[in-house]
């Protein structure tokens, strides 16, 4: 039955055997009798506190031995002077740690820059480890007025950049005046800063350590947005502060424009804006001062090895007053090939890695834990579904007969009943996760309830057949498949990009299941850029992707919002309709417009109302089933975490999602090696 699957499984088994053999021959670096048990969560704090080196007994804070030596040589001011008056006190997961060690990670080259972004998670505020709330980081706190139009951010007095220069409100104002409002750098200002009337929100300096944002309408997504302004995607749109004292030399508001253009040409750039966009990112320009726990040590993401060294001015301490980070250095090693990175993980050559770990290697990784000297954690995502089938609601403009079917809710419900989700779970997801619709996880406040999480997920081919008969698909062709109402051949196409998981296997099972109820479909495996292009031109009927935005339906580009770009192939012409204010594209029906109403209301509402609206949104989403969920709550997306046996303070479970910058939200600066 699953011929294609068997074939891929054969390969998979082959690779597994190969990996096992390699793993089996790997020299075991860890001595056999080593105490593998991690210290209990309530590890006696005093005992652990004795561990860090004991320099500068006079001061309030303590520091890493390598920094103490530099202080002794007079190369660095004492730690008490380097830290702000009120440093961030970082809670520790298991206990107070020891200084030292190198955290080895793998990365896939220059376009894997977000690997860096996720490790340092250098933003004004951060998401908490479980992802449920926003917590202080560079900013020590904030408040807002009653209607959420004015937000005031408080910075830390005496906080410094990694070169020792003070970090003040001017660094935020530089971003606002010289990056966001500069039309050359930002032809269109970042969306989160734009008011509903199209004007840009104002940012003012109240004093050196206080900054005020004023919007023209309530903005409850402000903190969520701010928590992601960390230079992600190496995009200047994702900044909310920059080292003014350093960046001014690259900006025509401060230096002679002609000289700047000449400098840009000399360095190989076409324009000063191109040069600025590179110079402003620490991982592209190691000279750029940073506020992160580790700063690049002369290398960049385009090097074979990208090394980060501890920032001597990092503004956080542990509860005992030891300056963080504990770990001296983070080393990213370049792998040209993802599978090579996975093999390195199996061989225990990486200390902490979830990114690029292939979920299908999970059994191999677990098998080799002891030999490789690591343990494997799973951090499933916020819910949703790890393989969904999205039905194009505007395909009718391309093919009326097929398009009408895709738009028919009963047709989609019938196809959902026809899917054997247990088979998908076993064969494509190694038995991990659960069959479910694309809604958040049960522990999430936005969870709409079991009724919707499991609606239409029973495997019931008889019911599917009845429903298909009921909507008039009663005629069959000579191969036994149902024909279109107009008598023509019905042939659905499922477009698949082999991106995260065995989505082609999922699609193959779905095709077999649908054939059992008389619906002919075929899988088209496409290169992703082509798939993306066909999606934009309204040429896809059905696509397989994952629903990973259920934790954040009101910020970023949620896949439930027909306006999202990039989004899935929900309705490319609906999106056009919204983009052009109704002059082009196709007007959405009321039930699609309802999604937009819910999302827009939530963006202006307080937290409690937001939760109500989110639950309503997901009930509406499942009831209409534009997107059929298969299996969810697996660790597919960067959720298989390979952790060195000696690495401590890594939480057993954590919120895992891109907006949280996982593992950034688990605070890697408090990880340490127990050796």
Partner 1 sequence: MDPGVFMARYIAQRLLLLPLLLFIFSIFAFVIIQAPPGDFLTAYIAELSASGSSMDQAQIEALRRLYGLDQPLHIQYLRWVGRILRGDLGFSLDWQRPNAELISERLLLTVLLGLFTFTFTWALAIPIGILSATRQYSFLDYFFTVFNYIGVATPTFMTALVLMWLAFKYLGISVTGLFSAEYVDAPWSWGRVVDLLKHIWLPAVILGMDGTARLARVMRANLLDELHKPYVEMARAKGLSEWRLVLKYPVRLALNPLVSTIGWYLPLLFSGSVIVATVLNLPTIGPMLLRALTNQDMFLAGAIVLIYCALAILGTLISDILLAWLDPRIRMEGS
- The helix (run of H) or strand (run of E) holding residue 366 is helix 362-367
Binders in 163-192 for partner 1, by CB under 8 A: 186-191
In total, the chain counts a number of residues equal to 675
Query: If we measure between CA atoms, which residue out of 425, 366, 219, 353 comes closest to residue 671?
Result: 353
Of the pair 133, 274, the CB lying nearest partner 1 is at: 274
Phi, psi angle pair for 34, to nearest 5°: -75, 150
Of the pair 2, 532, the CB lying nearest partner 1 is at: 532
Q: What is the DSSP letter of 666?
A: G
Based on the shown chain and the rule CB under 8 A, indicate whether residue 528 belongs to the binding site for partner 1: yes
Based on the shown chain and the rule CB under 8 A, indicate whether residue 39 belongs to the binding site for partner 1: no
Based on the shown chain and the rule CB under 8 A, indicate whether residue 640 belongs to the binding site for partner 1: no
- The helix (run of H) or strand (run of E) holding residue 426 is helix 421-428
Based on the shown chain and the rule CB under 8 A, indicate whether residue 33 belongs to the binding site for partner 1: no
Spell out the residues 6+ positions from residue 200 whose beta carbon is closer than 8 angstroms to its own: 180, 181, 189, 193, 194
Enter the tokens of residue 301.
């993401």
Per-residue binder mask for partner 1 (CB under 8 A), 562-591, x = binder: ---xx------------x------------
Report DSSP letters for 270-318, one per residue.
SSHHHHHHHHT-TTT-TTS---SSEEE-S--TTSSEEEEEE-TT--EE-
- Among 35, 337, 478, 479, which residue sits at the site for partner 1 (rule: CB under 8 A)? 337
Return the HEC string of 330-349.
Answer: EEEEECCCHHHHHHHHHCCC
Of the pair 278, 401, the CB lying nearest partner 1 is at: 278
- Among 530, 582, 587, 591, which residue sits at the site for partner 1 (rule: CB under 8 A)? 530
In the complex, least distance from residue 499 CB atom to partner 1, rounded to whole angstroms: 5
Phi, psi angle pair for 322, to nearest 5°: -85, 130
In the complex, least distance from residue 247 CB atom to partner 1, rounded to whole angstroms: 17
The SS3 assignment for 579 reads helix
Based on the shown chain and the rule CB under 8 A, indicate whether residue 533 belongs to the binding site for partner 1: yes
- Among 85, 270, 450, 516, which residue sits at the site for partner 1 (rule: CB under 8 A)? 270
- Does residue 618 contact residue 452 with C-beta atoms inside 8 Å? yes
Per-residue binder mask for partner 1 (CB under 8 A), 90-109, x = binder: -------------------x
Laid out side by side, the sheet with 210-214 consists of 141-144, 150-154, 210-214, 202-207
Per-residue binder mask for partner 1 (CB under 8 A), 306-335, x = binder: -x-------------------------xxx
Based on the shown chain and the rule CB under 8 A, indicate whether residue 225 belongs to the binding site for partner 1: no
In the complex, least distance from residue 106 CB atom to partner 1, rounded to whole angstroms: 10
Instruction: Scan for tokens 């990784």, then name that residue.
Output: 365
In the complex, least distance from residue 531 CB atom to partner 1, rounded to whole angstroms: 8
Based on the shown chain and the rule CB under 8 A, indicate whether residue 226 belongs to the binding site for partner 1: no
Of the pair 347, 484, the CB lying nearest partner 1 is at: 347
In the complex, least distance from residue 468 CB atom to partner 1, rounded to whole angstroms: 34
- Does residue 404 contact residue 617 with C-beta atoms inside 8 Å? no
Based on the shown chain and the rule CB under 8 A, indicate whether residue 637 belongs to the binding site for partner 1: yes
Between CA 373 and CA 107 the distance in angstroms is 20
Based on the shown chain and the rule CB under 8 A, indicate whether residue 21 belongs to the binding site for partner 1: yes
Based on the shown chain and the rule CB under 8 A, indicate whether residue 278 belongs to the binding site for partner 1: yes
Enter the tokens of residue 54.
């004991």
In the complex, least distance from residue 545 CB atom to partner 1, rounded to whole angstroms: 9
Based on the shown chain and the rule CB under 8 A, indicate whether residue 557 belongs to the binding site for partner 1: yes
Q: Give the other-Cβ count within 10 Å of 389's Cβ.
A: 26
Enter the tokens of residue 400.
């009326």
Up-side HSE of residue 390: CA atoms within 13 Å toward CB? 25
Based on the shown chain and the rule CB under 8 A, indicate whether residue 197 belongs to the binding site for partner 1: no
Q: Apex CA 269: angle with CA 268 and CA 270, to 5°? A: 125
In the complex, least distance from residue 205 CB atom to partner 1, rounded to whole angstroms: 26
Per-residue binder mask for partner 1 (CB under 8 A), 478-497, x = binder: -------------------x
Judged by CB under 8 A, the number of residues near partner 1 is 67
Enter the tokens of residue 565.
């770009």
- Binding span for partner 1 by CB under 8 A among 41-49, 230-238, 432-440, 502-510: 230-238
Based on the shown chain and the rule CB under 8 A, indicate whether residue 299 belongs to the binding site for partner 1: yes
Based on the shown chain and the rule CB under 8 A, indicate whether residue 638 belongs to the binding site for partner 1: yes
Of the pair 422, 527, the CB lying nearest partner 1 is at: 527
Spell out the residues 6+ positions from residue 524 whose beta carbon is closer than 8 angstroms to its own: 493, 494, 495, 496
- The helix (run of H) or strand (run of E) holding residue 595 is helix 590-603
Of the pair 40, 336, the CB lying nearest partner 1 is at: 336
- Does residue 381 contact residue 420 with C-beta atoms inside 8 Å? no
- Among 340, 366, 397, 470, which residue sits at the site for partner 1 (rule: CB under 8 A)? 340
Q: Give the other-Cβ count within 10 Å of 223's Cβ.
A: 20
Query: If we measure between CA atoms, which residue out of 49, 635, 22 comes closest to residue 360?
Result: 635
Based on the shown chain and the rule CB under 8 A, indicate whether residue 252 belongs to the binding site for partner 1: no
Of the pair 148, 532, the CB lying nearest partner 1 is at: 532
In the complex, least distance from residue 424 CB atom to partner 1, rounded to whole angstroms: 21
Spell out the residues 6+ positions from residue 523 whose beta carbon is closer than 8 angstroms to its own: 494, 496, 504, 507, 508, 511
- Chain residues that interact with partner 1, rule: CB under 8 A: 18, 21-22, 25-27, 109-112, 114, 186-191, 232-235, 237, 267-270, 273-274, 277-278, 284, 299, 302-305, 307, 333-337, 340, 347, 349, 355-356, 497, 499-500, 527-533, 548, 556-557, 565-566, 579, 637-638, 657-658
């Amino acid at each position: 039955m699953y011929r294609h699957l068997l074939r891929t499984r054969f390969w998979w088994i082959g690779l597994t055997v190969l990996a096992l053999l390699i793993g089996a021959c790997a020299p075991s670096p860890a001595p056999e009798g080593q105490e593998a048990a991690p210290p209990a969560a309530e590890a006696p704090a005093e005992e652990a506190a004795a561990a860090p080196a004991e320099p500068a007994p006079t001061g309030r804070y303590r520091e890493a031995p390598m920094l103490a030596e530099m202080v002794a040589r007079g190369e660095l001011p004492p730690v008490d002077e380097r830290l702000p008056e009120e440093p961030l006190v970082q809670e520790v997961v298991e206990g107070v740690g020891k200084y030292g060690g190198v955290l080895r990670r793998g990365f896939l080259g220059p376009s894997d820059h977000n690997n860096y972004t996720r490790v340092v998670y250098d933003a004004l505020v951060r998401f908490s480890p479980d992802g449920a709330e926003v917590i202080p980081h560079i900013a020590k706190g904030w408040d807002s007025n009653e209607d959420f139009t004015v937000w005031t951010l408080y910075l830390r007095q005496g906080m410094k950049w990694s070169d020792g220069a003070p970090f003040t409100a001017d660094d935020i104002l530089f971003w606002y005046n010289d990056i966001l409002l500069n039309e050359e750098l930002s032809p269109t200002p970042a969306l989160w800063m734009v008011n509903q009337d199209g004007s840009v929100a104002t940012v003012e300096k109240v004093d050196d350590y206080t900054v005020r944002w004023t919007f023209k309408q309530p903005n409850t997504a402000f903190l969520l947005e701010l928590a992601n302004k960390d230079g992600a995607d190496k995009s200047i749109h994702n900044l909310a502060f920059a080292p003014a004292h350093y960046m001014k030399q690259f900006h025509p508001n401060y230096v002679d424009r002609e000289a700047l253009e000449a400098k840009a040409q000399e360095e190989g750039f076409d324009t000063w804006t191109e040069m600025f966009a590179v110079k402003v990112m620490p991982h592209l320009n190691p000279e750029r001062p940073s506020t992160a726990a580790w700063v690049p040590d002369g290398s960049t993401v385009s090097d074979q090895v990208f090394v980060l060294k501890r920032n001597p001015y990092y503004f956080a301490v542990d509860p005992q007053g030891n300056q963080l980070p504990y770990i001296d250095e983070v080393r990213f090693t370049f792998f040209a090939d993802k599978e090579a990175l996975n093999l390195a993980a199996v061989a225990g050559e990486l200390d902490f890695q979830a990114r690029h770990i292939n979920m299908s290697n999970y059994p191999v990784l677990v098998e080799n834990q002891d030999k490789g000297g690591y343990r494997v954690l799973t951090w499933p995502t916020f819910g949703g579904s790890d393989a969904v089938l999205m039905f194009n609601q505007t395909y009718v403009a391309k093919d009326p007969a097929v398009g009408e079917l895709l738009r028919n809710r009963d047709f989609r419900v019938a196809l959902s009943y026809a899917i054997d989700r247990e088979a998908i779970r076993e064969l494509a997801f190694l038995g991990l996760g659960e069959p479910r619709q694309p809604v958040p996880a049960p522990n999430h406040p936005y969870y709409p309830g079991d009724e919707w999480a499991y609606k239409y997920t029973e495997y019931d081919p008889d019911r599917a057949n009845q429903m298909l008969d009921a909507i008039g698909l009663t005629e069959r062709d000579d191969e036994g498949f149902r024909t279109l109402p107009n008598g023509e051949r019905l042939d659905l196409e499922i477009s698949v990009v082999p991106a995260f998981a065995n989505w082609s296997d999922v699609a193959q099972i779905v095709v077999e299941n649908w054939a059992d109820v008389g619906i002919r479909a075929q899988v088209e495996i496409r290169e992703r850029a082509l798939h993306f292009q066909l999606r934009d031109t309204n040429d896809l009927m059905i696509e397989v992707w994952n629903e990973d935005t259920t934790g954040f339906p009101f910020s970023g580009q949620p896949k439930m919002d027909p306006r999202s770009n990039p989004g899935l192939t929900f309705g490319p012409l609906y999106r056009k309709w919204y983009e052009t204010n109704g002059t082009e594209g196709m007007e959405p029906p009321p039930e699609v417009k309802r999604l937009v109403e819910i999302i827009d209301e939530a963006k202006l509402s307080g937290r409690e109302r937001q939760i109500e609206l989110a639950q309503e949104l997901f009930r509406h989403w499942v009831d209409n089933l534009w997107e059929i969920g298969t299996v969810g709550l697996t660790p597919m997306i960067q959720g298989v975490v390979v952790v060195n046996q000696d690495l401590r303070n890594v939480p057993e479970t954590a919120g895992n999602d891109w907006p949280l910058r996982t593992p950034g939200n688990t605070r890697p600066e408090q990880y340490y090696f127990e050796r």
